[in-house]
Copies of this chain bind each other. A is one copy, B any other.
């Protein structure tokens, strides 16, 4: 089999951990598989480099930042190559530009356009274990780019797609995808299988196992994806298009996202299209709006509330304030002390009673719901941040038993 494996930064943080991962790679190689292994930068390397940068320039250009940060993964693959050489294994390490990882020019958050499989195939044909620096590519100017958060997962999936690999294994510090965060929720269970769509919702909603860009890409190119542990050698969670539900589970999992801010535009004129204009402004600034609530205020004015990723909150407020005269409103209020709790599951909303169960659980815990939103496979509520963990535990208990 041709397998693409990916190990994150914490799995290769020091010589001991690198040797553990080298053991996993060696075992798969000795079983006769062809291997491409994607690595992130070791441990805190990326943060250390960012700290370094700040000493030279508080606002470095993204182009130079990518030049700097991409060294982290290059160091990581070189050291892993040395560890595998030390075990007598044939190995070669490659950077993003060496494997022809072509991206657009959006430094710091570049999107992959094409992976040239040529060099990778050459090395695999020589029966070498091929180590690839994740998170990085080059643009059409031959400048180094980085892919942003979850970049190494995306690198692995893109390579698996380009090589038509049999499997893409994402090794993490958890044993797979769980019904909820197992470090925080009692009774959280590992899922054997999950659909791409469910995984996408969980990833987007802050489950932090797989980044949604990698899941989207896996879905688009039908990459057989598996999430498993780099510490415990047992099967993880398989992510695929259609999943047989082995248990009678009403939902697949529960996610919590505290990285969310609620913005309210208060006192909008009660005229058609005013709310729409606020959202248009945010769209122009490329700010994603999630939950939306339009409420009737006093007299002839309305309020519009919505949530954005907390990182975008300042930019969102600035953009709206700049258009105060054109739109006309009283004030903008901001609340970052909120959390979004979501239940996810294919066909969930068509199952009677699922929504009711969730609200029952929240009511039992006396937790107030501020906003609600739903899609085909998820149901999200916004609550006070302080009750987030309590809410997840109660909802989990309700659906999966204590």
Residues on A close to B: CB < 8 A? 15, 18, 49, 52-53, 55-58, 60-61, 63-65, 67-68, 70-71, 74-75, 77-83, 85-86, 92-93, 95, 97-98, 119, 142-144
Contact call A64/B49, Cβ cutoff below 8 A: no
Q: Identify 26 residue pairs between A and B in the complex whose beta-carbon atoms are under 8 Å apart, listed by A's number.
A: A18-B56, A49-B75, A53-B82, A56-B80, A56-B83, A57-B82, A57-B83, A57-B86, A61-B81, A61-B82, A61-B85, A64-B78, A64-B82, A65-B82, A67-B74, A67-B77, A67-B78, A68-B74, A68-B79, A68-B82, A70-B74, A71-B71, A71-B74, A74-B74, A95-B144, A98-B143
Contact call B78/A93, Cβ cutoff below 8 A: no
Contact call A82/B98, Cβ cutoff below 8 A: no
Residue among A71, A78, A92, A97 with most chain B CB within 10 A: A78
Please, which residue of chain B has its CB at the minimum distance from the CB of A138?
B98
Contact call A64/B52, Cβ cutoff below 8 A: no
Bound together, the chains give a CA A247 to CA B306 distance in angstroms of 82
Contact call A79/B98, Cβ cutoff below 8 A: no
Contact call B68/A53, Cβ cutoff below 8 A: no
Please name 5 further chain A to chain B contacts, defined as beta carbons within 8 Å, in addition to the given A53-B79, A56-B80, sorted by A numbering: A52-B75, A60-B85, A64-B85, A67-B77, A68-B75
Q: What does DSSP make chain A's interface, helix, strand, loop or mixed?
A: helix
Q: Return the 8 tightest CB-CB contacts between A and B, nearest first.
A: A68-B78, A57-B82, A71-B71, A60-B82, A57-B86, A67-B78, A56-B82, A64-B81
Instruction: Report the minimum CB–CB distance from A366 to chain B (whole Å).
Output: 51
Bound together, the chains give a CA A67 to CA B95 distance in angstroms of 9
Cβ contacts under 8 Å, A75 to chain B: 49, 52, 68, 71
A81 and B97 in contact, given A56-B86, A57-B86 (Cβ under 8 angstroms): no
Other-chain contact of A67, B18, B49, B93 (Cβ < 8 Å): B93
Contact call A93/B64, Cβ cutoff below 8 A: yes
Please, which residue of chain B has its CB at the minimum distance from the CB of A92?
B63
Residue among A53, A56, A92, A98 with most chain B CB within 10 A: A56
Instruction: Report the minimum CB–CB distance from A247 to chain B (whole Å).
Output: 44
Bound together, the chains give a CA A95 to CA B78 distance in angstroms of 17
Instruction: Report the minimum CB–CB distance from A374 to chain B (whole Å).
Output: 45
Cβ contacts under 8 Å, A53 to chain B: 78-79, 82
Contact call A15/B56, Cβ cutoff below 8 A: yes
Bound together, the chains give a CA A80 to CA B79 distance in angstroms of 26
